Amino acid sequence: MTGAVLKIREELLGRIHAHGVETYPHECCGALLGRDSDGLREVLDLVPLKNRRNDSPRNRFEITPDDVRLAEETAREKQVELIGWYHSHPDAPARPSQFDREHAWPWYSYMIVSVQQREPRDTTSWRLRDDRSAYDSETVESVAHSATR
């Protein structure tokens, strides 16, 4: 834990959980749009995306460069930033796997939702260290209302 905080409105967190339940037993994925101010982050909107890993969607997800560009464009239109990504771990803990780390980018927040037997459980968020050696967790702070919009 580094003291980093990722704020998210309860309603948006509920939408991520619903996405994970909808795609269960496959992984869901999407973009987190919001603001980053000196490392303090707030999610203000989501872009749910299709998991493009057709060969192994139960334990892998992939977001193509075209979908990344779509998320960036949506962020620009809404005058916010693309601050990270979410995905689900069906019937697995909400902890990043070795595979997650090998494929991660720095700076982004990576939110993971564990979905056990169609029930959303833990939600965690992580940022890759500069040297790619590990992830640091950030606190997911669920808030009733957004401070900024």
Q: Is 97 in the site for other proteins (CB under 8 A)?
A: yes
Q: Which of 1, 3, 38, 65 binds other proteins (CB under 8 A)?
A: 65
Binding region for other proteins (CB under 8 A) out of 7-15, 59-67, 116-124, 138-146:
59-67
CB-based contact 115:88 (threshold 8 Å):
yes
Tell me which residue has tokens 């139960």: 58
50 contributes a contact to other proteins by CB under 8 A: no
Nearby residues of 142 by Cβ (< 8 Å), 6 or more positions away: 8, 9, 10, 13
CA 20, 93, 98, 81: dihedral to nearest 10 degrees? Answer: 40
Contact residues for other proteins, defined by CB under 8 A: 27, 29, 53, 56, 58-65, 68-69, 72, 81-82, 85, 87, 89-93, 96-100, 103-108, 110, 130-132
